[in-house]
Amino acid sequence: MTLWALFWRFFFIGLFTIGGGQVAITLMYQELVESGIISAELFYNMLAVSESTPGPIGINMATYLGTELFGVWGGIITTLGTVSPSIIVIVIIARYFTRMQDTLAVKSFFSVLRPAAAGLVCIATWNVFKISVVLLNKARQSGLWYDALEFPRIIAWLLFTVLLFKTKLPAILYIVLGAAFGLLFL
């Protein structure tokens, strides 16, 4: 894999990431893991770090992977590959959208785009869940899972979920608490 080829892969991802960074996860998985560039485990580790750092997740993942594979220049090139399509599309939209926003073609495009983006988010969620269950089963099989800790883990997970949905704490506090729960019950 050359840096130029990686740029074009991330250009493709950036071009078709409509609906937010969660959509990018599905496309990145297909482009990077299913094509054999990186392993699924590395992908989900990078995903966890990218979600924990400030900024758009797709750009964080691109920068992280580029830096991991090609150093600082790799991070710069993959980030440019990810954001270039958005910049190009925004310039085109800014130029022509006011004249075309009420046309049937534009309205039809957006009516199809919303459910497609929602479907890609669902696929990303399913993939994250699936790999989490697979890693949990691997931990159980390798002896890293202690049955005595299973009940406290479930209680901790439930408490954290309630805390997440029933309180309005700053986002950074949720990240720190999530890391603490993860380390405490690893």
Are 182 and 125 in a shared domain?
A: no
Is 109's pLDDT higher than 70?
A: yes
Give residue for tokens 């931990």: 139
CB 40 within 8 A of CB 32: no
Are 101 and 169 in a shared domain?
A: no
Q: For residue range 113-171, what is the model confidence (pLDDT) as tens digits?
A: 778 777 877 787 777 767 666 666 666 666 555 554 556 666 666 777 777 778 887 87
3-state secondary structure of 30: helix
Number of structural domains in the chain: 2
Are 150 and 60 in a shared domain?
A: no
What is the per-residue pLDDT for 73?
Answer: 94
Are 96 and 28 in a shared domain?
A: yes
CB 185 within 8 A of CB 152: yes
Q: What is the pTM of this model?
A: 0.56
Query: Which residue range forms the structural domain that includes residue 120?
Result: 3-145
Rounded mean pLDDT of 53-73? 89
Burial class (CB in 10 A: 0-12, 13-18, 19+), 154: exposed
Question: What are the φ/ψ torsions at residue 33 (nearest 5 degrees)?
Answer: -85, -50
Is 174's pLDDT higher than 70?
A: yes
